[in-house]
Each structure stands twice: as structure tokens, then as C-alpha cells.
Amino acid sequence: MNARLSDSAESLAGTLPALMVRAERLASSISLGMHGRRKAGIGQSFWQYHHYRLGDPSTAIDWRQSAKGQHLYVREREWEAAQSVWLWRDGSPSMRFGSGADSKIERASLLALALGVLLVRGGERIALYGEREAPANSRLAYRRIGYALGERPPSDNPLPPDAPLPRNAQFVWFSDFLSPIEEIEHGIRSLTSVNAGGRLVHIIDPAEEDFPYNGRTRFEAVAGGQTRTLGRAEGVAAEYRARFKAHGETVALLARKLGWNYTAHRIDRSPQSALVALFADLSGGHRMGGQ
């Protein structure tokens, strides 16, 4: 089994996207006195069995249960469910906008994957929400996530899929949160129905927040089909900025009302500072501000 795991990891490593390289470098540039999130030790309360999956340590196999049938079973305990961290990155058309070197989706993917690398190095179990693979603590786990984020076509849905989440898991949602507030609230409430803790990471392009346009300006919808031309763009700048700020504040208030944490990250700023804040938040549970 270990040989097959190694072969799979090496095969995947041979096709790593550039995103994986950037994320590993970003994670390696941060010195955090690496440690996992709070653990009182290995729990004793049985939670559930699941079929052995690629990425599960062979030491976790329950041989007595496995001997009863034709499958290998892994015995999960309560603390294992509580310590899993699930990552999800919005891949909708609005996330593909970028006024500088990176688009929002590229920065969100980088932060999500670099956070996954740090969590694995800190002893945590990670998974990409909506994927088939169970949370695991291995290089293979974050390489799979890197491949999914860097190589697969993103989904157009701005909200997390309707998929089961283990109770007491931690959920990190990367998005520009331009969806209607009601839809965002529904998404959070669906995830918290199993007592999951969560963090909203608001990804902002500087042009969206600053609206640095003057004179005659043509705006095109990222998804195509809709255009609007303003004769003097600066004439609506103040109203636009106020509305954009109000929307972000509403998202932040919603997160806090539902017991989640919130942070805003502009993609013209250092990804290191946002990553440090995210990892520290997962380690200590305090609330975050803008990065």
C-alpha cells in the first residue's frame, strides 16, 4: 500500500501546475513556529468507519472490522472529524477579473493551496470541499487540491455545492462575495447545520474598491453579453465606492452574526500577510480584519 501511495504521489508531482510551485514557495516563506491547531490528544470516542482511501495512513486501518468483509475500513474518532479543514474557492466568472498581475481567482487559489500546505505541515487534515477524497494529512492531499484548483476548469457556481460536511469541521470559503446577501447567508447556514466553524476570505481587486476610472469608459460583464458605457465615469465614483463598501460590511456583519470569521484581502497586497492571518486564526480562533 505504501508503495502505491508513493507511486501515485510521484505521478501527480510530475504534472504539478505552476500554482503548486507558487503555493509551496509562499508557504515556505513564512516562519510561524509551525504547530497544529489545539489538540488535547487522540480522542477515544468512536465516530464512524469509512472505506480505506488513497491518502489514509495504513496505521489507521481497523483490521478487525476489515476482516468481516472484502473492504479495508478506517476507524475515525471524534477529534479527527473536529480537526478536518475543508477549503473551497469560488470559481464563478466574476472571480476571473483582474486589473493587475493576478486575477481574483488566481489569488484565491494561491491562498487556499498555500494554507493547505501549511496545515498539512502543522499536522492537520485537509480536503477540497465537493471533491470525493476524504480529509488527509499528506503531501498527496494538497497536491490533489493544487491540481484541482490549477488545472480543472472552474465551476460557474459562486456558492459551495450541496455536499455533506463532517460535524465540527472547519470551513474556509474564498470568494469575492458579489452574490446576493440572501444567497451567501443560505450557504453559510447550510454549512453550519452540522456545527461547522467557518471563515470567509473576501478577495478584492483594487479596481473594484477604488474605481479609478475617468472620462468615457466602457464596462463589460465578465461573463459576456452585457456592456455599459459611461460618458464621465468619475461622476458615479463616489456612489459606487459607498455601495461597494456597504456590501463588504454587510458580508462581514453576516459572518459575525452566524459565528464565522471574516477577512478582506486586496490582491495588490502581499499574500504573505493574509496567509499568516488565516493560519493564526485557524490556530487560535480569533477574529481577523483586513489584510
Question: pLDDT tens across 259-283, in order?
Answer: 999 999 999 999 999 999 898 888 7
Residue appearing with cell numbers 474557492: 89
Residue 35 has pLDDT above 60, yes or no: no
Name the more confident of 7 and 56. 56
This prediction's pTM: 0.77
Our measurement of the distance from residue 122's CA atom to the centroid of its chain's CA atoms, rounded to an integer in Å, reads: 17
Could you tell me the three cell numbers for 222?
465578465
Give the integer Cα–Cα distance in Å for 124 and 118. Answer: 9
- Are the beta carbons of 54 and 5 closer than 8 angstroms? yes
What pLDDT does residue 194 have? 77
Give the integer Cα–Cα distance in Å for 255 and 260. Answer: 5
Domain residue spans of the chain: 17-32+77-284
What pLDDT does residue 228 have? 75
What pLDDT does residue 31 have? 57
What pLDDT does residue 213 have? 87
Q: Any idea what DSSP says for residue 259?
A: T
Residue 13: band (very low, low, confident or very high) from pLDDT cuts 50, 70, 90: very low
- Are the beta carbons of 173 and 160 closer than 8 angstroms? yes
Pick from 34-43, 66-75, 204-213 the range whose average pLDDT is largest. Answer: 204-213
- Are the beta carbons of 43 and 77 closer than 8 angstroms? yes
Identify the CATH class of 17-32+77-284: alpha beta
Residue 88: band (very low, low, confident or very high) from pLDDT cuts 50, 70, 90: very high
Give the integer Cα–Cα distance in Å for 32 and 280. Answer: 9
Give the integer Cα–Cα distance in Å for 21 and 243. Answer: 37
Residue environment code for 146-162, b if the CB has 16+ CB neighbours within 10 A, otherwise e: bbbbbeeebeeebbbee
- 204-263 pLDDT per residue, tens: 999 999 989 888 877 777 766 677 777 788 888 899 999 999 999 999 999 999 999 999
Beta bridge mates, 204: 266
